[in-house]
Structure 1
């Protein structure tokens, strides 16, 4: 048995086999070939395999997501079977005498540039699609698709590091927990682990040779056991039973009010990243969705979600909450939250020296107006089915918020002109920059509510990169400057008569719950698994 120490993210225990995740190599090499006919046949076989894959994905999507969300796979299969595309690949192979991988990559780039330059928005959207199908064929040709996939049994995912775009695309029903060498307790992967309520360790010296071995992830003590002995397994089973009993006792709070002994009412909502998370929110008695992270809809996809795809997702979440409030944060793509297709239309995300302070959040939305308006239309349409609010991320000035409000009004008028039903949504500011906190008195005059994003507010206040484990020792969740900014923001919100909530990780910190209640926070929005423990905590505050 081997034992390794790490930093625990979620204090739970999991036992199962290790699945070592390795990143796929993205580069395509160009080399000369003698037998171009053989190379062409390689391409044809890979193309046919890709079409079979896409048809299979379409059938799976129809069963799980419906016809609308499955249409993209059918469209991709048709593009692969297009004669112009295949003729281009064949021409490059034969005239240049090069390998099929390079011919496909070149064809994908050429077609993407062609579509991007067209005036028609429909054809411009095809640029990302053609890049995606090209990458699929290249993956088959190069053998990268043969990398071992998750089996039928749930596993402990072990990796050097995990990007949000990688974790969100995993089959969550098969993940028991996460173990990585890199990352920090404030990283987005850590946030996802909390949302999924899965044990996670960071800072573990992982090794690929562990793949397939039995392991125990002890999130309580921050330990990973590889090839555990029977005694260790038995101790872990006991701890798991204790945790299950604790969860059972908490269920008595599910339908109770979130109110202190002195009568102070606090709304307890849930943070979610997908429709599947909404079920967990309801199961744990959440009083609403305080933060729907819409960017995960984009990260889980292999293309930019259309207005209809977004609308169907938001509508389903709103309908599931059955009248309870749903706050949808507009896309917060950028920094470490990006997917391969975002290098093309309509994002054109470039590598940045300091992405945390780069083109992200509301900045990206205001620069990519059509992308932003598409999302606003989808949210407004979903608003016809329940109580919906819009939350704008990374606001640093009153002018940014006014521009966002103006675009929403423009979209609202467009929908009315076409007779498309939409709801009246509230508009709020996410207070996650010191600038927004300092200007909270001015922003409160324009906003209908505040939601304090403590993850980024902490990062920017203390100048600590949340993705850098080397600066973790400088992070202090109880830093006086941070708490002062929160208290100042709440004071200004209450003076203006608008509600204010906490939607960052600090909302789950029970050592700060009493502070939040006393300064006047109206709402705490936390991972679904934290709703009941916090309700118990608040009901015992005098």
Structure 2
């Protein structure tokens, strides 16, 4: 039977494929594909982990005191029985052999299948045995961790789709943390569905940047969908169709082909210079997360990297942060690949919804922070960790000898912090000179993400060479909205008059003071804002590589001088979006999307 699940549309397009559920186990589970030659070894690893748990439980059973309650021994017997049940052991083996899942993923997938069967049982006692099953699976997953294995940080090449069979795959989960999104972005998934999240949650932003259809806030999706169900993700309407009929399936496959044709047309603009109708050249830069993204920048026709989010180098590392040499190699790889094109490296922006793996002691410190979006994050965190910050600054400075590097600092708001920043940079330079290691004096920029920074821009620009407007956080902090909080995410509004006025004022003031200004947040890659930003005088946009061609297409059809005349009218309106919409039908400098 076909079922429709409704959520929030956050990334356009259509994805069709087999559902892969990420289990909500209390134990972290790695998800990666196993090389064909390693299948037997992975099956043996699963068996060894099971045998290890059997030994542990048998030993526990032997140590039970004679006066212990009989139910304790009975419980251990139940766990031992579950470990050797074919519905768990043999079926898990099939996930490894047929789908090339690693043992942990296979085990958690089979847990989802069996847990559904327990939920449907009428007998309350039998339903309650699901908890025993979960405990057994978690024991085996923990044992697998002790035995070791591959890491998702080193997944098979992108092209090896045959690992999962011929069918495309879509990911279904309760939620996907930013660190997990970093893993999954390099996998074979063609779409995402989550139970929770808002239009501007990190999951939504990453899905858009990957140009992958996604629906978030779909509530019970991960409970309704079962492993291997065929599902359709309609990223335009925010609908997930489970087990669609043949007619519906064919209709959506037709829509997929139309999207692919449009992408092919956009690809032809790749090497066309981005110039407005009134002759203004526009700089289209790309946002990246990892060194491996450098080739995508060149393939998209971007003219440089406007934002290298260095914090992703620090994530998924079990608390072990990258040192100076590792960072230097990562930054240098991008700079060399760009071959003279500018690379803007943002210092680590940890905090809020992007957390590092932490030790229990560090977690205790974090738990006291009731609102991480307003806590120790970005430049605040870097200044509180001078050794780590010094390593990063030295690595960035050393990479500058290989090309044009610019250093960008997130969440600037206080002149006191700016002075400490400058001191840290000078200290890093002195340390490199003492080592006789080469570096180049790089341009230093401030991210304008806090209203205070926008309002005190003239004072800030005494210390900085350029500014980059991070619209995602600027909107969040201007409107006092936690964009990761579903309860208020509907109030997150990039069209709010206060937001538009701050952006317009920042662009105008930076240009008046002779400083370069760009926008690197979500608005830069959203065609709905292209004319508006051009009218404000913006000449540098930075976005995910997949968004470059669609924004370029828009730019080629815009007369920015005409839109400039209407900026005050739009920004001063009670409802700027309505005013903007009316002008789009009347302004001659707009020739449709």
TM-score normalized with structure 1 length: 0.76
Matched, 1:259 2:267: no
Tell me how far apart the structure 2 counterparts of residues 299 and 234 of structure 1 sit (CA, whole Å): 40
Tell me how far apart the structure 2 counterparts of residues 137 and 159 of structure 1 sit (CA, whole Å): 21
Per the TM alignment, residue 155 of structure 1 is displaced from its structure 2 partner at its CA by 2.0
Residue number in structure 1 paired with 2:221? 206
The one of 149, 155, 174 equivalent to 1:160 is 174
Deviations 1:93-142 (A, max 9, x none): xxxxxxxxxxxxxxxxxxxxxxxxxxxxxxxxxxxxxxxxxx99666469
SS at match of 1:422: coil
Deviations 1:202-256 (A, max 9, x none): 1112134522211111112221111112112211111111111111111221111
Residue number in structure 2 paired with 1:527? 544
Matched, 1:313 2:330: yes
SS at match of 1:172: coil
Q: Contact 2:270/2:549 (CA < 8 Å) preserved in 1?
A: yes
SS at match of 1:167: helix
Q: Contact 1:270/1:525 (CA < 8 Å) preserved in 2?
A: yes
The one of 291, 295, 298 equivalent to 1:275 is 291
Matched, 1:451 2:468: yes
Superposed, 1:76-475 pairs within 5 Å as 140=145, 152-153=164-165, 154-170=168-184, 172-204=186-218, 205-208=220-223, 209-302=225-318, 303-341=320-358, 349-475=366-492
* 341-350 or 445-454, larger mean C-alpha shift: 341-350
Tell me how far apart the structure 1 counterparts of residues 403 and 317 of structure 2 sit (CA, whole Å): 26
Tell me how far apart the structure 2 counterparts of residues 346 and 380 of structure 1 sit (CA, whole Å): 31
Per the TM alignment, residue 379 of structure 1 is displaced from its structure 2 partner at its CA by 0.9
SS at match of 1:17: strand
* 469-478 or 288-297, larger mean C-alpha shift: 469-478
Residue number in structure 2 paired with 1:537? 554
Moved over 6 A (4+): 141-145, 345-348
Aligned residues: 440
SS at match of 1:469: coil
Tell me how far apart the structure 1 counterparts of residues 358 and 464 of structure 2 sit (CA, whole Å): 34
Q: Contact 1:343/1:350 (CA < 8 Å) preserved in 2?
A: no
Tell me how far apart the structure 1 counterparts of residues 413 and 502 of structure 2 sit (CA, whole Å): 14
SS at match of 2:280: coil
Tell me how far apart the structure 1 counterparts of residues 363 and 401 of structure 2 sit (CA, whole Å): 27
Per the TM alignment, residue 193 of structure 1 is displaced from its structure 2 partner at its CA by 1.0
Deviations 1:147-205 (A, max 9, x none): xx996355211111111112212362312111111111111111211221111101112
Tell me how far apart the structure 1 counterparts of residues 172 and 448 of structure 2 sit (CA, whole Å): 34
Matched, 1:502 2:503: no
Distance change >3 Å, CA 138–CA 374, structure 1 → 2: farther
Distance change >3 Å, CA 194–CA 277, structure 1 → 2: farther
Distance change >3 Å, CA 144–CA 310, structure 1 → 2: closer
Matched, 1:2 2:3: yes
Q: Contact 1:445/1:496 (CA < 8 Å) preserved in 2?
A: no
Per the TM alignment, residue 435 of structure 1 is displaced from its structure 2 partner at its CA by 0.7
Per the TM alignment, residue 34 of structure 1 is displaced from its structure 2 partner at its CA by 6.5
Tell me how far apart the structure 2 counterparts of residues 377 and 339 of structure 1 sit (CA, whole Å): 21
Distance change >3 Å, CA 346–CA 266, structure 1 → 2: farther
SS at match of 2:175: coil
Tell me how far apart the structure 2 counterparts of residues 418 and 199 of structure 1 sit (CA, whole Å): 49
Per the TM alignment, residue 427 of structure 1 is displaced from its structure 2 partner at its CA by 0.6
Superposed, 1:25-64 pairs within 5 Å as 25-26=26-27, 33=60
Distance change >3 Å, CA 24–CA 338, structure 1 → 2: farther
Per the TM alignment, residue 277 of structure 1 is displaced from its structure 2 partner at its CA by 2.4
Per the TM alignment, residue 261 of structure 1 is displaced from its structure 2 partner at its CA by 1.0
SS at match of 2:221: coil
TM-score normalized with structure 2 length: 0.70
Tell me how far apart the structure 2 counterparts of residues 139 and 221 of structure 1 sit (CA, whole Å): 41
Q: Contact 2:173/2:193 (CA < 8 Å) preserved in 1?
A: yes
Per the TM alignment, residue 22 of structure 1 is displaced from its structure 2 partner at its CA by 2.2
Tell me how far apart the structure 2 counterparts of residues 176 and 465 of structure 1 sit (CA, whole Å): 28
Larger Rg: 2
SS at match of 2:406: strand
SS at match of 2:468: strand
SS at match of 2:253: helix
Unaligned runs of 5+ in 2: 29-55, 64-139, 156-160, 560-593
Residue number in structure 2 paired with 1:482? 499
Residue number in structure 1 paired with 2:573? none
Tell me how far apart the structure 1 counterparts of residues 339 and 365 of structure 2 sit (CA, whole Å): 37
Deviations 1:338-366 (A, max 9, x none): 13336567996445211110100000000
Unaligned runs of 5+ in 1: 37-134
